[in-house]
Amino acid sequence: MDTELLRRLATPNTTKIVLSVVDGLGGLADTRTHRSELETANLPHLDNLAGDSVCGLTIPVDYGVTPGSGPGHMALFGYDPLQHEVGRGVLEALGIDFDLQRSDVAARGNFCTLDAQGKITDRRAGRIPTTLTVELCERLNQIKLPGVELIVEPVREHRFVLVLRGEGLEDGLAQTDPEREGVEPLPVRATSEKAQATADLANEFVKQAREVLSDQEQANGLLLRGFAKHPDLPSMPEVTQMRAGAFAVYPMYRGLAKLAGMEVSPGGGTQGSQLEALKSRWDDFDFFFYHFKRADAAGEDGDFHAKVLALEEYDKLIPMLRDLDADVLIVAGDHSTPSQFAGHSWHPVPILLYSKHGIIDRVDQFHEAACLTGALGIFPARHVLSLAMAHAGRLMKYGA
Amino acid sequence: MDTELLRRLATPNTTKIVLSVVDGLGGLADTRTHRSELETANLPHLDNLAGDSVCGLTIPVDYGVTPGSGPGHMALFGYDPLQHEVGRGVLEALGIDFDLQRSDVAARGNFCTLDAQGKITDRRAGRIPTTLTVELCERLNQIKLPGVELIVEPVREHRFVLVLRGEGLEDGLAQTDPEREGVEPLPVRATSEKAQATADLANEFVKQAREVLSDQEQANGLLLRGFAKHPDLPSMPEVTQMRAGAFAVYPMYRGLAKLAGMEVSPGGGTQGSQLEALKSRWDDFDFFFYHFKRADAAGEDGDFHAKVLALEEYDKLIPMLRDLDADVLIVAGDHSTPSQFAGHSWHPVPILLYSKHGIIDRVDQFHEAACLTGALGIFPARHVLSLAMAHAGRLMKYGA
């Protein structure tokens, strides 16, 4: 359901909802065994929970669309990911736990190597060590631009985040990375008239940065891409009348939850310590987002066995998740990350919804093929939140 | 498909479609037996018909949305219930068989008790007997308003319907019911500028009504809510090029069919007599809406066994429905009413579509779990009409 209908039907209750997102949950069958990672793993607790739940498969964004982490999570938080895009610069900022403000414009930056004619010879500046990037960012932070604040934050190797902070900034800016070597970086070009002033500021930054970096051999230039503003989403807690808390080890996922308006618990630690933190805040929230990372990482590495082990590690957390005794407990994924692909994919993602009042279908295993026969069917991930709220008695009737 | 595409593709034929709506059809499994009302009931004729039909499940409005009777039926009549809302005042008027005109504004009214300071002490006026409400409505009908006609119709106990009839009336009016006691009723407030004149008329009615009711002890005040105009829908018979007739015992469902532009057969009698009436009008219509109420009523009462019996009663009507020899016979529900909930719910509703030309899937039982494996899948209820028309040879090819 769309945000306005959700806002209209949402009604307070004392019920609790836990959304446990297993990053990159879905997979594909191994070509020899014809069994996916979920089918291969030994998942006694998940299978048991599936038996007590309704199951199905979610389509994260659209048929055939492979989502990044941004749209995958936005959908599970109830937003139509095609209507609410989270730009690359914003995601890069979230990934380093940067406290992005609503009016900021963020871009992803790379140091690069330029020759005497100013042409790019290495788009990644020989992947300089992070320590050097930290030092160079400190120098770039000294640059002054008229009327706006400038923040340059190191990421890893040759990567950094550029943030412009001030009033009236716009993000309609094309990237300066020509995506090939042997040519000069492009100037920052405004894609709309109202972004011209911001483009001028960004070009001024690039010009001054060239001077600052002129003593460098490898990192004597920079490339900017993914200029983006905070997406300024309707606040999920406000729309749903639920106090929402996020529990995640990694900054990117806390950042996405913060974009949605959730309160973010401190990051780091282990999956277990994050779950303990969630438990300790049980009275403070109505909705809990709990993120599990390792399945995606193993899938991205193309390591089938490691993904199986990651899923088995997650399975061991299920008794603790069930012990919370939430009214609604959902196990979902932001997208599939089949080991076979060594990357994200568009394939529908298994989901289970446990509820004290739900219909129980005949599914008693938690994997792709089993979920296909579940009562939830195959459905867009952006409906997960409204289904959760319905099962938690948090939606009023529509019409008389 | 939306109304404009339906209008464009609709083509006349001599085929007949029967849409038999079992109100509140879907249910949930009993926690002990793990069988729903449909699974528990002995339904030899429905199971047999399911075996000869394609089956599936409908989503009445949207994922997680619990529909009232209005949106539940509007969807089955081919309208997007989120685009065509039927207001509470209108439904209340339909519920007493009131002949609502396109320009009318209707509101639901309650008599209430006011103290000497004009503050509400009982929002339901002690649930005065219907006989007194009838008498008070007669008195209120004497009130004269400038330029508009006024109709006050009794409903039941303390409830009545107020209808303003005239040109230029608007329904953007907030309710006067503050939904608590110890405060005065609110004035009728226009929510848009163009509704101000109507608000003034409604306030004048309230003022005069207070005088008329001043001799009453319990019912000396009134509260108004759900101001709504006739939704002025595109006519379903015109869009589809089908003569459409409605057969229902209860006024609400005849009223909804009338909103859709169907010809409405006289109400009352029994389910059997309504089916006889339908049969006697076989040559007059192409599309027949036949409404069966008791399953919903039993579900609303939270009575699992009564709902099972209601479904078994409906099953006995199936041979007569099949004997009509319609080209397409559909058994559907406007929403689920699980006995467990003692109310409507958002759960997908079983549907079967029998057609002389349909694909027959493997489903040979008519209940939630069986329909999940049917060839229709899980789909929005607003597509039922176009599916019916396709199976009846009443839709042209789209594109060359």
What totals of helices (H) and strands (E) does chain A contain, helices first? 15, 13
Residue B339 in tokens: 């006995």
Chain B residue with minimal CA distance to A392? B64
Residue A171 in tokens: 């993000």
Query: Given a cut of 80, is residue B358 above it in pLDDT?
Result: no
A389 contact residues in B (CB cutoff 8 A): 64
Chain B residue with minimal CA distance to A359? B28
Residue type, B12: P
Residue A271 in tokens: 């999956």
Residue B91 has its nearest CB partner, among A357, A389, A400, at A400
Residue A400 has its nearest CB partner, among B70, B348, B377, at B70
* Nearest CA-CA distance, residue B290 and chain A, Å: 20
Q: State the sign of the Cα–Cα–Cα–Cα dihedral A49, A53, A54, A60.
A: negative
Residue A390 has its nearest CB partner, among B66, B82, B368, at B66
B393: nearest Cα among B318, B288, B286 = B286
CA-CA-CA-CA dihedral for A299, A302, A303, A304, to nearest 10: 70
Alpha helices by DSSP H, B213-331: 236-240, 251-259, 271-280, 294-300, 304-315, 318-323
The reported pLDDT for the residue numbered A97 is: 87
Residue A399 has its nearest CB partner, among B29, B36, B68, at B68
Measured N-to-C along each axis, helices B44-51 and B304-315 cross at an angle, to the nearest 10 degrees, of: 60
* Nearest CA-CA distance, residue A221 and chain B, Å: 51
Chain A residue with minimal CA distance to B61? A398
Spatial separation of the C-alpha atoms in residues A18 and A1, rounded to whole Å:
20
Residue A359 has its nearest CB partner, among B28, B69, B85, at B28
Residue B280 in tokens: 């006697």
Give mean pLDDT, residues B145-154. 95
Chain A residue with minimal CA distance to B256? A400
* Nearest CA-CA distance, residue A164 and chain B, Å: 40
Residue B63 has its nearest CB partner, among A362, A383, A397, at A383
C-beta atoms of A390 and B346 within 8 A: yes
What is the tens place of the pLDDT at every residue in A222-265? 999 999 999 889 999 999 999 999 999 998 899 999 999 999 99
B85 contact residues in A (CB cutoff 8 A): 399
B346 contact residues in A (CB cutoff 8 A): 387, 390, 395
Chain B residue with minimal CA distance to A356? B31
The reported pLDDT for the residue numbered A357 is: 74
A337: nearest Cα among A293, A291, A382, A389 = A293
Give which of B32, B36, B55, B62 to mutate to test A binding, by max A Cβ within 10 Å. Answer: B62
C-beta atoms of B348 and A375 within 8 A: yes
B348 contact residues in A (CB cutoff 8 A): 375, 377
Query: Given a cut of 90, is residue B97 above it in pLDDT?
Result: no
C-beta atoms of A398 and B36 within 8 A: no
B327: nearest Cα among B12, B10, B15 = B15
The reported pLDDT for the residue numbered A1 is: 86
Residue type, B290: Y
Spatial separation of the C-alpha atoms in residues A197 and A94, rounded to whole Å:
25
C-beta atoms of B347 and A359 within 8 A: yes
Spatial separation of the C-alpha atoms in residues B37 and A353, rounded to whole Å:
22
Please count the residue pairs, one from chain A and one from chain B, whose beta carbons lie less than 8 angstroms apart: 89
Which residues on chain A place their C-beta less than 8 Å from a C-beta of chain B? 1, 5, 9, 357, 359-362, 373, 375, 377, 379, 383, 386-391, 395-400
Query: Given a cut of 80, is residue B359 above it in pLDDT?
Result: no
Residue type, A100: L
Query: Given a cut of 80, is residue B391 above it in pLDDT?
Result: yes
C-beta atoms of B86 and A399 within 8 A: yes
B374: nearest Cα among B52, B25, B72 = B52
Residue A276 in tokens: 């303990």
C-beta atoms of B373 and A373 within 8 A: yes
Residue A360 has its nearest CB partner, among B29, B69, B341, at B29
Chain A residue with minimal CA distance to B374? A373
Spatial separation of the C-alpha atoms in residues A249 and A313, rounded to whole Å:
15
A370 contact residues in B (CB cutoff 8 A): none
Residue A383 has its nearest CB partner, among B64, B71, B340, at B64
* Nearest CA-CA distance, residue A286 and chain B, Å: 18
Residue B63 has its nearest CB partner, among A386, A396, A397, at A386
Residue B240's Cα: distance from chain center in Å? Answer: 20
Contacts of B213 (CB under 8 A, 6+ apart): B111, B136, B139, B140, B219, B220, B221, B222
List chain A residues with pLDDT less than 50: none
From residue B275, how far is each of A49, B42, B286, B351 by CA, in Å? 46, 22, 15, 20
The reported pLDDT for the residue numbered A108 is: 94
B89 contact residues in A (CB cutoff 8 A): none
Alpha helices by DSSP H, chain A: 3-9, 37-40, 44-51, 69-76, 88-95, 130-140, 196-212, 236-240, 251-259, 271-280, 294-300, 304-315, 318-323, 368-371, 384-391
C-beta atoms of A397 and B344 within 8 A: yes
B86 contact residues in A (CB cutoff 8 A): 399-400
The count of other CB atoms within 10 Å of the CB of residue B106 is 29
B344 contact residues in A (CB cutoff 8 A): 397
Q: State the sign of the Cα–Cα–Cα–Cα dihedral B389, B391, B393, B395.
A: positive
A375 contact residues in B (CB cutoff 8 A): 348, 368-369, 372
C-beta atoms of A5 and B29 within 8 A: no
Alpha helices by DSSP H, B158-270: 196-212, 236-240, 251-259
Give mean pLDDT, residues B220-227. 95
Would you mind telling me the total number of residues written for chain A in this entry? 400
Residue A389 has its nearest CB partner, among B64, B82, B372, at B64
Q: Could you tell me what percentage of chain A is helix, strand and coil, using 3-state DSSP and rounding each to the nearest 5?
A: 35, 20, 45
* Nearest CA-CA distance, residue A155 and chain B, Å: 40
A374: nearest Cα among A23, A163, A58 = A58
A329, A322 in Cβ contact below 8 A?
Answer: yes
A236: nearest Cα among A10, A70, A395 = A10
A388 contact residues in B (CB cutoff 8 A): 64
C-beta atoms of A5 and B62 within 8 A: yes
Residue B378 has its nearest CB partner, among A357, A362, A377, at A377
A239 contact residues in B (CB cutoff 8 A): none
A400 contact residues in B (CB cutoff 8 A): 68-70, 86-88, 91-92, 226
Spatial separation of the C-alpha atoms in residues B66 and B75, rounded to whole Å:
13
Residue B82 has its nearest CB partner, among A5, A375, A387, at A5
What is the tens place of the pLDDT at every residue in B262-292? 999 998 999 999 999 999 999 999 999 999 9
What is the tens place of the pLDDT at every residue in A108-135? 999 999 999 999 999 999 999 999 999 9
Share of chain B above pLDDT 90, in %: 91
In this prediction the pTM is: 0.91
Which residues on chain B place their C-beta less than 8 Å from a C-beta of chain A? 28-29, 34, 36, 57, 61-72, 81-82, 85-88, 91-92, 226, 340-341, 344-348, 368-369, 372-373, 377-378
